[in-house]
Amino acid sequence: MFANRSDAGDRLAAELEDRGTEADVVLGIPRGALPVARPVADALEADLDVVVARKLGAPTNPELAIGAVASDGSVWLNDDLVDRLGVPESYLEDVREREAENARRKAARYRGGESLPDLAGKRVVVVDDGVATGATAIACLRQVREAGAAALTLAVPVGSPETVTALEAEADVVVALVTPGNFRAVGQFYRDFGQVTDEEAIEFLEGR
């Protein structure tokens, strides 16, 4: 059980230091990952930035993730779920374009209009506050991989065991402090898992 996201970040930072992890850039997935990513970036003496992805919701249930898309258009689809629900290709194209644009706008807001830093040849650590389905994490990892990162680590305080295993195919290294067998949701492993506002997340990004 983590007290809050900052506590989780401190513990994740300590684990990465113990492993000898080196990073040029730490990328947090807004909004909830920024309080976790800040102590990680500080401990690894790396720049902190963001990588943004948006969930793709099912046609009749927007809360059900059938995939995710990153701000550069990198996409991951849960093909089994898409097939089972009979999601039309036209819907996938529409929702992918719409959410990719939303992700681009969000990334621009966090960076003050600046683009993603040059990741070619860099050692990159992507941080989230936890992974359940892993949809947004996969889309983000694919964007970073496409940008030419030389080494790619995903670091999370907690995750579903099945999802963490699946994510090992997307990153060079996956570090998860706990992968509980009774996992139902990320928030169950935090005493304080309140919403993080955009304004609060940007303050963590700026080091305040």
Residues 128 and 196 in one domain: yes
Residues 38 and 68 in one domain: no
pLDDT recorded at residue 208: 52
**DSSP H helices in the chain:** 5-18, 34-44, 79-85, 89-111, 135-146, 161-167, 198-205
Number of structural domains the chain divides into: 2
Q: What is the pTM of this model?
A: 0.92
The Cα–Cα gap between 93 and 104 comes to 16
Residues 138 and 187 in one domain: yes
Confidence of residue 93 (pLDDT cuts 50, 70, 90): very high
Q: What percentage of the chain reaches a pLDDT higher than 70?
A: 99
Residues 201 and 125 in one domain: yes
Residues 44 and 59 in one domain: no
Residues 146 and 188 in one domain: yes
55 has pLDDT over 70: yes
Rounded to the nearest integer, the mean pLDDT of the chain is: 93
Confidence of residue 63 (pLDDT cuts 50, 70, 90): confident
**Average pLDDT of span 13-40:** 96
**Sheet of strand 75-77: strand arrangement:** 53-58, 61-70, 75-77
Residue 87 belongs to domain with CATH number: 3.30.1310.20
pLDDT recorded at residue 115: 74
3 has pLDDT over 90: yes
124-181: pLDDT as tens digits: 999 999 999 999 999 999 999 999 999 999 999 999 999 999 999 999 999 999 999 9
Confidence of residue 114 (pLDDT cuts 50, 70, 90): confident
Of residues 109 and 208, the one with the higher pLDDT is: 109
pLDDT recorded at residue 207: 73
Range of the domain at 135: 5-51+119-205
pLDDT recorded at residue 166: 94
Indicate the Cα dihedral angle 88, 89, 90, 91, nearest 10°. Answer: 60
